[in-house]
Amino acid sequence: MDPSVEDHLPSYRVRPRFRVTSDKSIKEITSDFARSLDQENGPCIGKVREGYVALNVVPDDQHYWSPQLTLSMEDLDDGKTLIRGLYSPRPAVWTLFVFFYSVIGLAVLVIGTLGLSYYTLDKPTTVLWWIPVLTGVFLTLYLVAYFGQKVGHDQMLTIHQFFEDTAEVVTEK
């Protein structure tokens, strides 16, 4: 793998993004991806539609934290094509984390409202001790997602190398 690929990717972030321009048309880029994905023993699998590409690592290499890259393309006024890339976990993983974040946020809202209501009524507010506990759960969940992204980082580099080789572009940092 080209060591410079890692220099072009965003550091650890939730759903890293990038933008590049290409001199090729959208049809040329999508046909290049379709041709590359049809090759046997390639590093990636994916779906190609006009102006849209979704890339994943091959099923034998996939694990729970495997990333995917979605590319959307649009024509620019100067005859070039803008390619927007978004790395994310698979939809099932992303949905699971959003669900847990939402449940924690809703629980903090309900407990905070209940605790402040008790406070205004001069009743014991021991329920408010759940807010730091839920904050700890939230931070633990965030750290799990962060370390999961680190586990999938090498696969993200593989996908990005495949993207750069196929689209014949170099991602600017």
Whether 173 is covered by a domain: the verdict is no
Whether 84 is covered by a domain: the verdict is yes
User: How many domains in the chain?
Assistant: 1
The answer to whether residue 8 scores a pLDDT higher than 70 is no
Whether 28 is covered by a domain: the verdict is yes
pTM to 2 decimal places: 0.77
Average pLDDT of the chain is: 88
Tokens representing 108?
């903090």
Of all residues in the chain, the percent with pLDDT exceeding 90 is 65
**Residues 71, 87: Cα–Cα separation, whole Å:** 9
The answer to whether residue 7 scores a pLDDT higher than 60 is no
Whether 171 is covered by a domain: the verdict is no
Give the burial string for 65-76 (b: 16+ CB within 10 Å, else e): bbbbbbbebeee
Whether 127 is covered by a domain: the verdict is yes
Whether 144 is covered by a domain: the verdict is yes
Whether 85 is covered by a domain: the verdict is yes
CATH of the domain at 78: 3.30.530
Question: What tens digit of pLDDT does each residue of 80-122 get?
Answer: 899 999 998 888 888 999 999 999 999 999 999 999 999 999 9
Strands (E), 58-164: 67-75, 81-89
Q: What is the pLDDT of residue 26?
A: 92
**Residues 45, 57: Cα–Cα separation, whole Å:** 6
Q: What is the pLDDT of residue 13?
A: 62
Mean pLDDT check: name the lowest of 3-7, 112-116, 145-149.
Answer: 3-7
**Residues 73, 28: Cα–Cα separation, whole Å:** 11
What domain range includes position 71? 1-166
